[in-house]
Amino acid sequence: MMGAISTASDGFAIRAERVSRHFQMGETLIRAVDEVTLSIRKGEFVGLLGSSGSGKSTLLNLMAGLDRPTSGTMIAEGRNLAEMNSRELARYRNQTAGIVFQAFNLLPRMTLEENVELPLRLAEVDRGERAGRVREALERVHLGKRSAHRPGELSGGEQQRAAIARALVNRPTILFADEPTGNLDSATGEEILNLLREINQTLATTIVLVTHEQPLAERFAGRIAFMKDGKLAAA
Residue 223 touching other proteins (CB under 8 A): no
Phi, psi of 224 (to 5 degrees): -120, 135
Residues in the chain: 235
Q: Which of 15, 56, 79, 93 binds other proteins (CB under 8 A)?
A: 93
Residue 107 touching other proteins (CB under 8 A): yes
**Which part of the chain contacts other proteins (CB under 8 A), choosing from 41-49, 62-70, 192-200, 215-223?**
62-70
Alpha carbons 70 and 34: distance in angstroms, whole number? 9
Alpha carbons 168 and 221: distance in angstroms, whole number? 19
Residue 166 touching other proteins (CB under 8 A): yes
* Closest distance to other proteins from the beta carbon of 173 (Å): 14
Q: Which of 12, 45, 101, 220 binds other proteins (CB under 8 A)?
A: 101
Do residues 136 and 196 touch, judged by C-beta distance below 8 A? Answer: no
Write the Ramachandran bin of 190: left for phi over 0, alpha for psi from -120 to 50, otherwise beta.
Answer: alpha
β-bridge pairing 97-100 and 174-178: parallel
**Residues near other proteins (CB under 8 A):** 61, 64, 66-67, 86-87, 90-91, 93-95, 99, 101, 105, 107, 109-110, 118-119, 121-124, 127, 166, 170
